């Protein structure tokens, strides 16, 4: 296996493959991790994925978790945003940590992993494939060579050479507005929350975002007047003046130093297919998403999580070719949904016409007195995609019979368990069968026996109802004190959920039978043969 690119998505794909026992070569033209914050906000789902991959430790140690924000319109507070967070979820909705740390922590994890061969200073300059293999031309300071491999993951970023070599075009649109990001070092006595200023005195008609990051860094992000060029915007005197005005606006005109500044614009673009024979696109190479709503790196991390187990299963002979097709179908759908949603927030942040601006300003001024329009401002909600329509789901009638709980395609929610651990702690990189009730009941016993015959790695988790004795045959047993977990899953004694290696539900039954499990595993692995 070869992975091209050592940004967040390339590194995480290689780490995910290694978790499934697959060796990979990671080729990157860089000689070190990138500088400058770029992605600065990881959403809860990304933290959960990093947790499952066993690399979350330094992110927790460094990151600043948060769950709320305040919006101001012409200096007046109009909205307090509280992102959904349930007591018992391990991670807050968002964690601020700069991209150079994301890359540093992931490249250190990759360097420690014997199954990953991370090659710096290695630029991919050509790609060919046939029915036997893929071939990459690699240019290095010591000379060029050809790498022959089974599959290639294109994680080579927004200017993807592999996309260019294949002549692929993205669909969607690029937005006109341009923004400055300036990371400054200062000591603002403010909590970690998202501050958003619409139409402030010093930047009329535009907006300014302020975010706290680790290392006493603060990210200031503001829209430029339409007629200003990036060079003008980064001119030191003008930049200083605007940062001073921002600090005055937040109420603390204190000294600061500049760490990094850049100009960016928003796009909502995706390839219509991510799989091209032996080449699979992930991250910015596959899509370019506006950073409002913190989509770029977070979406790439979910791509990697989706692809790694599928590639591993295909390479280990546990999955059919349809599994890789499902990667493309599921993640293109996710990107299209994000482009659609992000388009709304981008139009809100950068009204493309006078009409949009009037509507946006009306909504904002309305919220000064009314509450019901506040959802309009709820633009930074970021949630994992639900693979509701996935070809890997099965028994949709049984799914529909549940009164509640995560349905087919949805991610399993995290929750704190009676012993103080979290459900997330018990979900590794295999398939999992979550069984509810008394493990000694005939129904669950037969199901567990069928699960033991499965050819794919399948871990059995018993969420044991209160008072039921311990049962043999399960990899993990957790007491469901007061039936809280069963309630959250809409389960009754004897119910079961089949969960994919990336933590998404692919089948669930109130009353399962062993043959339904066999069929569901075959469908989830895209194999013709039943997997048990
Ligand atoms: C100013 C700014 C702010 C952002 N803020 C956020 C945010 O808050 N949250 C968020 O989720 N996202 C944010 N993003 C987006 C985020 O930075 C990207 O989505 C993310 O970096 C994508 O990761 P990636 O691994 O796909 O690509 P990249 O990080 O671009 O990595 C690509 C890798 O491929 C390598 N490469 C390229 N070509 C070749 C080649 N031919 N051969 C070998 N190697 C090659 C590069 O050297 C690099 O290692 C922001 C982006 C910008 C610019």
Pick the more confident residue, 363 or 503.
503
The enclosing H or E element of 529 equals none
What is the pLDDT at residue 372? 42
**β-pair type (116-119, 275-276):** unpaired
264: helix, coil or strand? strand
Q: Where in the chain is the domain with CATH 3.50.50.60?
A: 2-63+97-172+268-349
Q: Are 70 and 78 in contact (CB under 8 A)?
A: no
What is the pLDDT at residue 375? 44
What is the pLDDT at residue 339? 86
Q: What separation in angstroms does the CA of 519 have from each of 53, 301, 507?
A: 28, 29, 10
Considering the four listed CATH numbers 2.160.10.10, 3.40.50.880, 3.40.50.300, 3.40.30.120, the one that applies to the domain covering 396-524 is 3.40.30.120
Q: Is 6 in the pocket of ligand 1 (CB under 6 A)?
A: yes
What is the pLDDT at residue 373? 43
Could you report the per-residue pLDDT of 358-399, keeping only the tens digit for each? 776 666 666 655 454 444 444 444 678 899 999 999 999 999
Pick the more confident residue, 113 or 291.
113
Q: Is 262 in the pocket of ligand 1 (CB under 6 A)?
A: yes
Q: How confident is the model at residue 311 (pLDDT cuts 50, 70, 90)?
A: very high
Q: Is 286 in the pocket of ligand 1 (CB under 6 A)?
A: no
pLDDT exceeds cutoff 60 at 57:
yes
Token pair of 423, please? Answer: 């459900």
Pick the more confident residue, 345 or 504.
504
Could you report the per-residue pLDDT of 405-456, keeping only the tens digit for each? 999 999 999 999 888 899 999 998 899 999 999 988 888 888 888 888 888 9
- Tell me what the mean pLDDT of segment 275-303 comes to: 90
CA of 175 to the centre of ligand 1 (A): 19
DSSP bridge partners of 479:
464
From the number of C-beta atoms within 10 Å of its C-beta (0-12, 13-18, 19+), residue 422 rates as middle
Show Cβ contacts of residue 270 under 8 Å, excluding neighbours closer than 6 positions. 170, 171, 172, 286, 287, 288, 332, 335, 336, 339
CA of 12 to the centre of ligand 1 (A): 13
Q: Is 124 in the pocket of ligand 1 (CB under 6 A)?
A: yes
CA of 25 to the centre of ligand 1 (A): 19
Q: In Å, how far from its chain's centre is CA 343?
A: 18
What superfamily would CATH give domain 2-63+97-172+268-349?
Answer: FAD/NAD(P)-binding domain (3.50.50.60)
Token pair of 380, please? Answer: 């930074």
Rounded distance, CA 74 to CA 213, Å? 25
CA of 284 to the centre of ligand 1 (A): 6
Mean pLDDT of the chain: 90
- Residue in the block written with tokens 């009941």: 441
What is the pLDDT at residue 379? 41
Q: Where are the beta strands (DSSP E) in 226-381?
A: 257-270, 275-276, 279-281, 287-288
Q: How confident is the model at residue 29 (pLDDT cuts 50, 70, 90)?
A: very high
* Signed CA dihedral, 111, 117, 123, 126: sign only: negative
CB neighbours of residue 419 within 10 Å: 9
Which of 138, 160, 296, 384 is the pocket-test mutation for ligand 1 (most atoms within 8 Å of CB)?
296
Q: Is 123 in the pocket of ligand 1 (CB under 6 A)?
A: yes
Could you report the per-residue pLDDT of 112-128, keeping only the tens digit for each? 999 999 999 999 999 99
Q: Is 267 in the pocket of ligand 1 (CB under 6 A)?
A: no
What is the pLDDT at residue 142? 96
Pick the more confident residue, 438 or 353.
438
> Which atom of ligand 1 is closest in space to residue 124's alpha carbon?
42
Q: How confident is the model at residue 349 (pLDDT cuts 50, 70, 90)?
A: low
Rounded distance, CA 71 to CA 199, Å? 11
Q: Are 209 and 219 in contact (CB under 8 A)?
A: yes
Most distant CA pair in the chain, distance: 76
Residue 237 has phi, psi (to 5 degrees) of: -65, -45
Q: Are 103 and 15 in contact (CB under 8 A)?
A: no
Q: Is 291 in the pocket of ligand 1 (CB under 6 A)?
A: yes
Q: Where in the chain is the domain with CATH 3.40.30.120?
A: 396-524
């Amino acid at each position: 296996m070869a992975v091209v690119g050592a940004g967040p998505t390339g590194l995480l794909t290689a780490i995910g493959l290694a978790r499934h026992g697959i060796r990979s070569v990671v080729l990157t033209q860089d000689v070190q991790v990138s500088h400058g914050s770029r992605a600065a906000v990881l959403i809860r789902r990304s933290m959960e994925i990093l947790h499952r991959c066993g690399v979350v430790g330094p992110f927790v140690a460094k990151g600043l978790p948060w769950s709320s924000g305040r919006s101001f319109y012409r200096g007046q507070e109009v909205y307090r945003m509280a992102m959904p967070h349930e007591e018992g979820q391990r991670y807050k909705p968002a964690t601020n940590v700069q991209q150079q740390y994301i890359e540093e922590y992931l490249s250190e994890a990759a360097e420690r992993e014997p199954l990953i061969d991370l090659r710096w200073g290695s630029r991919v300059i050509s790609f060919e494939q046939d029915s036997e293999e893929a071939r990459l031309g690699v240019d290095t300071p010591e000379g060029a060579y050809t790498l022959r491999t089974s599959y290639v993951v294109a994680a080579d970023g927004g200017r993807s050479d592999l996309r260019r070599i294949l002549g692929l075009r993205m669909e969607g649109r690029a937005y006109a507005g341009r923004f400055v990001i300036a990371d400054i070092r200062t000591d603002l006595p403010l909590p970690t929350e998202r501050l958003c200023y619409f139409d402030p005195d010093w930047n009329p008609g535009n907006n300014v975002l302020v975010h706290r990051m680790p290392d006493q860094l603060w990210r200031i992000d503001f829209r430029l007047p339409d007629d200003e060029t990036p060079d003008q915007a980064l001119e030191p005197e003008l930049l200083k003046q605007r940062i001073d005005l921002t600090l005055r606006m937040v109420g603390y005109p204190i000294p600061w130093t500049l760490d990094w500044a850049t100009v960016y614009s928003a796009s909502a673009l995706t390839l219509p297919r991510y799989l091209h024979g032996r080449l699979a696109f992930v991250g910015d190479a596959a899509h370019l998403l506006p950073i409002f709503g913190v989509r770029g790196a977070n979406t790439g991390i979910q791509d990697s999580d989706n692809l790694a187990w599928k590639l591993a299963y295909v390479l280990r002979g546990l999955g059919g070719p349809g599994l890789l097709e499902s990667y493309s179908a599921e993640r293109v759908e996710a990107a299209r949904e994000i482009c659609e949603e992000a388009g709304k927030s981008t139009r809100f942040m950068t009204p493309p016409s006078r009409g949009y601006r009037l509507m946006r300003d009306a909504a904002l001024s309305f919220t000064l007195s009314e509450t019901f329009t506040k959802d309009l401002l709820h633009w930074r909600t970021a949630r994992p995609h639900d693979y509701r329509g996935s070809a890997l789901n099965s028994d949709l009638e049984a799914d529909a019979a549940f009164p509640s709980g995560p349905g087919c395609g949805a991610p399993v929610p995290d929750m704190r368990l009676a012993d103080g651990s979290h459900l997330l702690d018990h979900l590794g990189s295999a398939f999992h069968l979550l069984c509810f009730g008394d493990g000694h009941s005939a129904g669950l016993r037969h199901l567990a026996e069928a699960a033991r015959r499965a050819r794919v790695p399948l871990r059995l988790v018993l969420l044991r109802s209160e008072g039921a004795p311990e049962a043999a045959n399960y990899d993990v047993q957790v007491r469901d004190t007061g039936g809280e977990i069963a309630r959250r899953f809409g389960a009754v004694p004897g119910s079961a959920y089949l969960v994919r290696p990336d933590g998404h539900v692919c089948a669930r039954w109130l009353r399962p039978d062993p043959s339904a499990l066999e069929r569901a595993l075959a469908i989830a692995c895209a194999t013709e043969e039943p997997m048990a």
